[in-house]
Amino acid sequence: MLRWIIFSTLAAGLFYVLYCLTFKRDRWLQLSRAYLILTLAFSLAFPLVQLPASFSAPFVSDLSSGTGMLNADLPEIVISSGNTSATHPSLLTLAYQIGLAVTVAFLLTQLMLQLLSILRLRRKHSAFGARDGFSIPQHAYLIMPPDDTAPYSFFNHIVVGTRDLSNEELRCILAHESLHVRQSHSLDLTLMRLLCCLAWFNPFAWLMLRELRAVHEFQADGASLDACGRQDYLHLLYRQVTSIGYGHITNNFQSINLKKRIAMMNKTKTRLGAWKLLAALPLAALLMMFGCKNNASPEPDNSTAAVNDTVYDALENPAEVQPAFPGGEEAMYQYLAENINYPEQAKKDHIQGRVIVSFVVDAEGNLVETAVAKGIGGGCDEEALRVVNAMPKWTPGQVRGENVRVKYNLPIVFKLQ
């Protein structure tokens, strides 16, 4: 969980900074819209991606060729997810779940209240359409209460309060809100809000949501300029800033942002604007390289083993007397089955497969040089290594009556039920 939070926050921050340096100052609004949604979705998803085995370090058969150690596998043991005892979520996981529940509940409440408001207005006032002569999309519904309700659109519904509103101003506003409906901006915002719920801890996610709202307004402003002309539309915006007469073009869009809207109207698309999107590709590649899960653990470092010490292999170069777990091999498998817990993260990510733990039983019967020779991620590698390190002393192997070091590879299979 902590790894996902760190990498997703870092990625969203980098993509947000890149946006501020590129698209934010340009009129490639459709690209800006797609960039904000896709990069936030990518930031949340890529830390959960499991790299294919071909990208992982292969299992090397000569793990420590300099010391004469050879590899040999013991019979594997299978750890099933259904056999593990229930584990309690960590405090971090619990805090994330609470935050997610609160933000999702808040979003659903907002959507429900908005829907109820639309239904209440439809019962109280007539709903008009393009067939009635209004310049709105064919599938849209127009509700015009005779008050100063601020104009807004919600999916295919447009609400405009008509008090003190001239026909020319109504035409400008309908062009503005129709663009929101035609471009499915409500769907954009709902999807972005869901992503922000998943990343409620990430300040960059909420900043990207704010930027998406701004992009929507910039697009709608362009439609209004085409419909009623720059002078009339800027006059309407001026009335919003000064609160003279009918003022609000959109809900909760403060006058400080109106300055940005007016500035954006005066900009044109730059030639290199579309090519700026390519800057996100190497950034995404670097994030995938360093942030994705890797199926294999690094090759263990056996440089600390004494080069002059002979290490016998359990099968290829066996000792005369093999090391033994207290109680024998069956007792060892029982010990592993009772002590290994299937990691919750691995179950959530549907991770299963074989983990190979290598270790040497030294002349005193201690397990040394333990390492994960092949891993699958999701916490399975660490869990297998933890239990092997906690094993009691073995009876050491012997050659000609002398205790010797013997190397083993122990396969542990994690299997989901």
Domain boundary among 289, 315, 346: 289
Quick one: pLDDT at residue 309? 47
**277 plus 306 within the same structural domain:** no
Statement to judge: residues 253 and 394 lie in one domain: no
Asked whether residue 163 falls in the same domain as residue 242, the answer is yes
pLDDT of 296 strictly over 90: no
- Binning pLDDT at 50, 70 and 90, where does residue 291 land? low
Task: Mark whether 80 and 129 lie in a shared domain.
Answer: no
- Indicate whether 178 pLDDT > 90: yes
Per the CB < 8 A criterion, the answer to whether 260 and 25 are in contact is: no
Sequence-distant (≥ 6) Cβ neighbours of residue 54 within 8 angstroms: none
pLDDT tens digit sequence for 36-72: 999 999 999 988 876 554 444 333 333 333 333 333 4
Radius of gyration of the chain (CA): 32
| Domain-terminating residue out of 265, 289, 313 | 289
> How high does pLDDT run on average in the chain?
80
pLDDT of 306 strictly over 60: no
Between strands 402-415 and 77-80, the pairing is parallel
- 234 and 354, same domain (yes or no): no
169 and 277 share one domain: yes
**CA 205, 199, 32: angle at the middle one, nearest 5?**
30
To the nearest whole percent, how much of the chain has pLDDT over 90? 41
Rounded Cα distance between 364 and 383, Å, is 25
Q: Is 61 helix (H, G, I), strand (E, B) or coil?
A: coil
Classify 347 in phi/psi space as left (phi over 0), alpha (psi -120 to 50) or beta. Answer: alpha
Higher pLDDT, 319 or 304: 319
Map tokens 């190979």 to a residue.
356
**Length of the chain in residues, anyone?**
417
State whether 218 and 81 are in the same domain: no
Tell me: the pLDDT tens digits for 98-153? 999 999 999 999 999 999 999 999 999 999 999 999 999 999 999 999 998 888 99
What pTM, to 2 d.p., does this model score?
0.62
Please, are residues 254 and 10 in contact by the beta-carbon 8 Å criterion?
A: no
125 and 176 within one domain: yes
Query: Alpha helices of 229-378 — where are they, by DSSP H?
Result: 230-242, 255-265, 280-291, 329-339, 344-348
Residue carrying the six token digits 């074989």: 354
Residue 58: the pLDDT is: 36
Q: What is the pLDDT of residues 311-328, one digit of tens each?
A: 555 555 567 788 889 988
Per the structure, the complete domain to which residue 312 belongs is given by: 55-87+297-415
Question: Which residue's structure tokens are 């800057």?
Answer: 279
- Please indicate, yes or no, whether residues 98 and 66 belong to a single structural domain of this protein: no
Nearby residues of 205 by Cβ (< 8 Å), 6 or more positions away: 12, 40, 43, 195, 196, 199
Query: 63 and 37, same structural domain?
Result: no
Domain end point (choices 271, 289, 307): 289
